[in-house]
């Protein structure tokens, strides 16, 4: 089973991003289980989305405490000590941050970094960066055929489909792997 957490701010698309990725895994023939947690529903408030994926039906109904993968849509929400304590030792960390920002305390962790915000803004998506971060996830993960991500976006995203596809491709190309 793969357990993934999405951490971001309201308006960035963390919840929708986890739902799109669930659709990707469903299209791949796997069983996804997706849920979210958030306090006051307002733009800018911290939001978390959770996704489990397995080849068999998932019967767990508990919180994800030790994820295999963590996706941060907002770098300012990263607590490096918390990441090191909760992410599994062979885990993957994906961060939306400009290349000028360094995460040297996390150098022992498999890390992917992309400036999803700049990519989303250039594509005309504003601060909604979920599809760009999914392009980075697809590249860093390495086991997801890109066409499944494109199909999930076409079937799930309600507007600006071409702009979202552009953001996914650009983020896939620009993701830096450490």
Q: What is the pLDDT of residue 139?
A: 97
Residue 149 CA: distances (Å) to CA of 86, 131, 133, 178: 27, 9, 12, 23
What letter does residue 101 receive in the DSSP assignment?
Answer: -
Backbone angles phi, psi at 47, to 5 degrees: -135, 145
pLDDT tens, position by position, for the chain (178 residues)? 999 999 999 999 999 999 999 999 999 999 999 998 766 666 788 899 999 999 999 999 889 999 999 999 999 999 999 999 999 999 999 999 999 999 988 888 999 999 999 999 999 999 999 999 999 999 999 999 999 999 999 999 989 999 999 999 999 999 999 9
Q: What is the pLDDT of residue 44?
A: 80
Q: What is the pLDDT of residue 166?
A: 98
Q: Which residues, other chains included, contact 100 with Cβ-Cβ below 8 Å and sequence gap of 6+?
A: none
Q: What is the pLDDT of residue 7?
A: 96
- As a whole number of Å, the CA-based R_g of the chain is 15
**What CATH code is carried by the domain that includes residue 57?**
3.40.920.10
Beta bridge partners of 6: 49, 71
Q: What is the pLDDT of residue 107?
A: 82
Q: Count of domains in the chain?
A: 1
Range of the domain at 81: 2-177
Do 133 and 120 form a contact (C-beta atoms < 8 A)?
no
Q: What is the pLDDT of residue 104?
A: 85
Q: What is the distance between the alpha carbons of residues 109 and 53, in angstroms, rounded to a whole number?
A: 22
Backbone angles phi, psi at 93, to 5 degrees: -115, 125
């Amino acid at each position: 089973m793969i357990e993934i957490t999405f951490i971001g701010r309201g308006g960035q698309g963390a919840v929708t991003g986890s739902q799109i990725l669930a659709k990707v895994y469903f299209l791949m023939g796997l069983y996804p289980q997706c849920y979210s947690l958030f306090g006051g529903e307002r733009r800018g408030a911290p939001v978390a989305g959770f996704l489990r994926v397995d080849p068999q039906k998932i019967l767990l109904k508990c919180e994800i405490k030790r994820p295999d993968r963590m996706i941060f849509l907002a770098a300012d929400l990263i607590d490096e000590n918390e990441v090191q304590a909760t992410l599994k030792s062979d885990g993957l960390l994906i961060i939306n941050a400009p290349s000028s920002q360094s995460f040297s305390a996390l150098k022992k962790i498999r890390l992917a970094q992309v400036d999803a915000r700049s990519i989303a803004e250039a594509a005309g998506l504003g601060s909604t960066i979920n599809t760009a971060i999914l392009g980075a996830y697809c590249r860093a993960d390495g086991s997801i055929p890109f066409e499944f991500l494109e199909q999930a976006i076409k079937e799930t995203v309600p507007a600006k489909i071409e702009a979202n596809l552009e953001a996914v491709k650009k983020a896939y190309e620009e993701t830096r792997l450490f």
